[in-house]
Structure 1
Amino acid sequence: MPRLTDARKELRRTQIAEAAVRCFSRNGMERTSIADISAESGLSTGSIYAHYRNKADLVRGAAREMLHRRGDTIGEYAAADVPPDPDELLARLTAAIDPVHARVGVQTWSESTTDPAVRAVVVDATDRMRAMLHDCVTAWLVKVEHHEPAPARELAAPIAHRVMALYQAELLYTALRTPAGQEPTGQAPAAQAPTDRKPTEENA
Structure 2
Amino acid sequence: MARVSQEHLDARRRQILDGAARCFARDGFHAASMQDVLKEVGLSAGAVYRYFSGKEDLIDAIAREAVGGVREAFERAARSSPPPTPDVLIGRVARTLFGGEADGRGGLDRRAYAGLIVQVWSETLRSERLAATLGEAYEGLRVSWAELVGVYRASGMLAADVPDEHIARTLIATAQGFIVQLAMFGDAGPEVLENGLRGLMSMDQQKVS
Letter matched to residue 72 of structure 2: D
Distance (Å, rounded) in 2 between the aligned partners of 1:78 and 1:129: 12
* 1:20 CA displacement: 1.6
Shift of residue 101 of structure 1?
A: 2.3
Q: Gaps (5+ residues) in structure 1?
A: 148-153, 179-183, 198-204
Rg comparison, structure with higher value: 2
Q: Is 1:131–2:139 an aligned residue pair? A: no
Q: Distance in 2 between matches of 1:99 and 1:128?
A: 26
Residue of structure 2 equivalent to 1:110: 122
Paired positions, count: 185
Q: State the Cα distance separating 1:50 from its structure 2 match.
A: 0.8
Say what the alpha-carbon RMSD is for the aligned residues: 2.9
Give the residue type in structure 2 aligned to 1:113: L
Which residue matches 1:4?
A: 4
Deviation (angstroms), 1:116: 1.6
Q: Deviations over 1:170-200 (max 9, x none)?
A: 111111113xxxxx8x955532212316xxx
Q: Which residue identity is paired with 1:116?
A: E
Aligned pairs (5 A) from 1:40-189: 40-95=40-95, 96-97=97-98, 98-142=110-154, 144-145=155-156, 155-178=163-186, 187=189, 189=191
Determine which structure has greater relative contact order: mean sequence separation of CA pairs < 8 Å that are 6+ residues apart, divided by chain length: 1
| One-letter code aligned to 1:58 | L
Rounded to whole Å, the distance in 1 between the matches of 2:44 and 2:141 is 33
Checking the alignment, whether the CA contact within 8 Å between 1:84 and 1:140 is kept in structure 2 is no
1:195 aligns with 2:201: yes
> Could you give the per-residue CA deviations for residues 73-117 of structure 1, whole angstroms, max 9, x where no partner exists?
222222212321223223333444332221112112222212222
**In 2, Cα distance between equivalents of 1:171 and 1:146:** 27
Alpha-carbon distance between aligned partners in 1 of 2:90 and 2:146, rounded to the nearest angstrom: 13
Identity %: 26
8 A contact 2:64–2:134 mirrored in 1: no
Gaps of 5+ in 2: 99-109, 204-209
CA shift in 2, pair 1:111/1:72, >3 Å: closer
Worse overlay, 67-76 or 88-97: 88-97
CA 117–131 in structure 1, closer or farther in 2 if over 3 Å, else same: same
TM-score (normalizing by structure 1)? 0.75
Residue 122 to residue 161, structure 1, CA distance change in 2 (3 Å): same
Whether contact under 8 Å (1:74, 1:132) holds in the other structure is no
Secondary structure at the aligned position of 1:31 is classed as coil
d(CA) in 2 for partners of 1:17, 1:132: 27
Residue 78 to residue 188, structure 1, CA distance change in 2 (3 Å):
closer
Q: Hey, what's the Cα distance between the residues in 1 that align with 2:4 and 2:147? A: 36
